[in-house]
Amino acid sequence: MTLARDIMTPAPRCVGENDTLVDAAKLMASLDVGALPICGEDKLLKGMVTDRDIVVRCLAEGGDPSTATAGSLAEGKPVTIGADDDVEEAMTVMSREQVRRLPVIDGHDLVGIISQADVARAMAPADTGETVADISQ
């Protein structure tokens, strides 16, 4: 059985919930990533922010990314997977929730991120194709 921790990208960097979207964009650029977990001052995961979120939910609506915070884009309870959950469960969650990146937690601690690419490298092509198709609907 392959576990989430076996395929995740470990030790993800977070953007703070009170950091601006400019800070988030700069961190994304320096890490060459398109999404970051949003972590609170309490060190708990608050959500995810993507480069698309910054453009569509801030800039396109006339917002100022130098004053808008990453936390302002966090909505609801973050969708996560446990580090010791089976990869099949991760694929099910990604499909059901239509997310391309899935934070991995161990207890309350963020320990990794699983992306579509991680799934593609770890799973059979048919399973990967089905999951990607479900996510992209």
Taking phi over 0 as left and psi of -120 to 50 as alpha, with beta for the rest, 36 belongs to beta
State percent of the chain over pLDDT 70.
91
Q: What's the predicted TM-score (pTM) here?
A: 0.87
Average pLDDT over residues 42-62: 95
Q: How far is 99 from 97, CA to CA, in rounded Å?
A: 6
Residue 123 DSSP SS3: coil
Sole residue written with tokens 């400019």: 22
User: For the chain, how many residues are written?
Assistant: 137
Domain spans, the chain: 4-135
Local confidence band at 44 (pLDDT 50, 70, 90 cut-offs): very high
pLDDT for position 71: 96
Local confidence band at 100 (pLDDT 50, 70, 90 cut-offs): very high
More confident site: 41 or 132 = 41
CATH architecture for the domain at 4-135: Roll (3.10)
Q: How far is 33 from 21, CA to CA, in rounded Å?
A: 14
